[in-house]
Structure 1
Amino acid sequence: MTKNMGNLDRLFRLVVVVAIGAAYAMGQLSGTLAIILGVVAVMFLLTSLVGTCPAYLPFGLSTRGKN
């Protein structure tokens, strides 16, 4: 897969993952909301580590900038 995420995009997603994890750890999230945000956090973590966002592909989007 072609990488289509820039460093700022990846960093933003990692910050969101940490925020969701912290909210869960502090007991601010529970029930269905915790499950939904947990799935979002896992997806954000995986896309950040890989550098490719499958949702960007059909639209030809990229936050990498010009090389």
Structure 2
Amino acid sequence: MERNVGSTDKTARILIGALAGVVSLGILASAVPLPVILAPVLGLASVLLLVTGVTGFCGLYGLLGIDTCAVDTR
């Protein structure tokens, strides 16, 4: 599994994933006034973003041929 998620992309995914997770938990705790159906959707999105951010690999990027990693000039 080759890395295809660059450092800026990783940071954005981790931050957005954490925020989505907090909002999802806030919805479940009735602290955020959004429809309850959004909680599992945001929870799943949060997990996917966090996993792809931590591992540095995105399956969708692989299918589409996208690579945001810096070019190795060695």
Residue identity (%)? 28
Alignment match, 1:3: 3
Contact 1:56 1:62 (8 Å CA) reproduced: yes
Say which structure, 1 or 2, has more relative contact order (CA 8 Å, 6+ apart): 1
Q: Shift of the alpha carbon at 1:18?
A: 2.0
TM-score when normalising by structure 1: 0.86
Contact 1:24 1:30 (8 Å CA) reproduced: no
Q: 1:53 aligns with which of 54, 58, 74?
A: 58
Q: In structure 2, how many angstroms separate the alpha carbons of the residues matched to 1:24 and 1:9? A: 22
Select the structure of larger CA radius of gyration.
2
Q: Shift of the alpha carbon at 1:35?
A: 0.5
**Structure 2, unaligned runs of 5 or more:** none
Name the SS of the counterpart of 2:67 in structure 1. Answer: coil
Name the SS of the counterpart of 1:5 in structure 2. Answer: coil
Aligned residues: 67
Name the SS of the counterpart of 1:14 in structure 2. Answer: helix
